[in-house]
Amino acid sequence: MDAVVLVNYKKQEDDELNLEVGDLITDVTRPDDDDDGWCEGTKNGERGMFLDMYVEFKQVRERVLLDSGVIMPVYESESEEDEEAGVY
């Protein structure tokens, strides 16, 4: 699962991530016993914690390698028309 950041957040602890609106967090995990909203994920190669209220979660259907060498996620909620038009 991935997450897109909705709110800027400056980390308060060393194990947290700094967040800026629009950032993509990949490989998101949530502890089974966690009810305080903390998740763990990777942003720009850095693994850290962040609060779930600051992001919108996206279920990754697949990752596509573009000709430019960029790996682009395709999410479950995206329609086939968007995908065909290149809208991500």
How does residue 58 score in pLDDT terms, banded at 50, 70 and 90?
Answer: confident
Which CATH topology does 2-58 take? SH3 type barrels. (2.30.30)
Q: What tokens does 12 get?
A: 């308060």
Where do the domains of the chain lie? 2-58
Sorted by sequence, the CB contacts under 8 Å of residue 19 that are 6+ apart come out as 5, 7, 8, 9, 25, 43, 50, 54, 55
Amino acid identity of 33? Answer: D
What are 30-40's pLDDT values in tens digits?
877 666 889 99
- What pLDDT was estimated at residue 88? 43
